[in-house]
Amino acid sequence: MSNIQIGFIGGGNMAASLIGGLIADGWLASNIHVSDPDQARRQHLGDLFAIQTHADNAATVQAANVLLLAVKPQMMADVISPLAEDIARKQPLIITIAAGIRLSDLSRWCNGYTRLVRSMPNTPALLQCGATALYADPSVNAESRDLAETIMRAVGLTLWLENEDQINAVTAVSGSGPAYFFYIMEAMEQAGIDLGLSAETARLLTLQTAFGAAKMALESNDSPETLRRKVTSPGGTTERALSIMDDAGLKQTFQQALAGARERSTELAKLYGQQS
């Protein structure tokens, strides 16, 4: 790690989270570079992490062995295309953390460059407890894959996908997934209030219950279905509540919702790929 220079194009929240995770993992702050057009943002990141900051993206490319692309997907083509010659000279491992950007499109914007890894982190990565799926171009060797995994593991769990199309399913499950749980928490809080609890009590009970259930699932060898059955007494309150959810077709609604999210992810990837 001591001789690897890591560069970030874009200094937003996800980049900041990765930088913080990398430094916590023992990476040298002096070996981390970030470029961002916002001078105040560069100043903030420099003050916070003691990393090297640049106004010019080319300076970051020229410094980096590993380049992380942390710009909005609709801006990717305009940001990366001017850097194609610098990338060809430096030959960095490129990891994109921009949702919806296919490797074929990124390669095209980089004049055919293929040392590319696509990743799909989710927002809990901001707290170093995210889930990130990775897919590498076939030309990326095992050493570079290990390096990409090590970097992304700084913000949580990582796993590799067998084909790039699976990124769209990952987007539906974990990329958008935090919003689904927030939606359920929102509904539970309001239901608690409607049942006579104070807003604060309903909130605290909902959040701690969500945290406890997730922790139980993570630390257990049982499937969620088995865990659900273990806490559902025949004829009890939990069984009554779950039967109402089943009668309302909640599982089917979730399946339809995630299928819709995957479809939209596919559409957006095609849309972003049409950038020149």
The CATH number for 114's domain is 3.40.50.720
Structural domains of the chain, count: 2
Evaluate if pTM is beyond 0.75: yes
Instruction: Note the maximum CA span of the chain.
Output: 69
Of 168, 192, 208, the one marking the end of a domain is 168
Within a domain: 273 = no
pLDDT value at residue 179:
97
| Beta-carbon-side half-sphere exposure of residue 50 (alpha carbons within 13 Å) | 5
Same domain, 47 and 142: yes
Average pLDDT over every residue of 193-198: 98
> Does 202 lie in the same domain as 127?
no
Strands of the sheet containing 130-136, edge to edge, are 52-54, 32-35, 6-9, 66-69, 93-96, 116-120, 130-136, 156-160
Burial code (b: 16+ CB inside 10 Å, e: under 16) for 120-134 equals: bbbbbbbebebbbbb
Q: What is the residue range of 243's domain?
A: 177-267
- Give me the CATH number covering residue 239: 1.10.3730.10
Confidence of residue 1 (pLDDT cuts 50, 70, 90): low
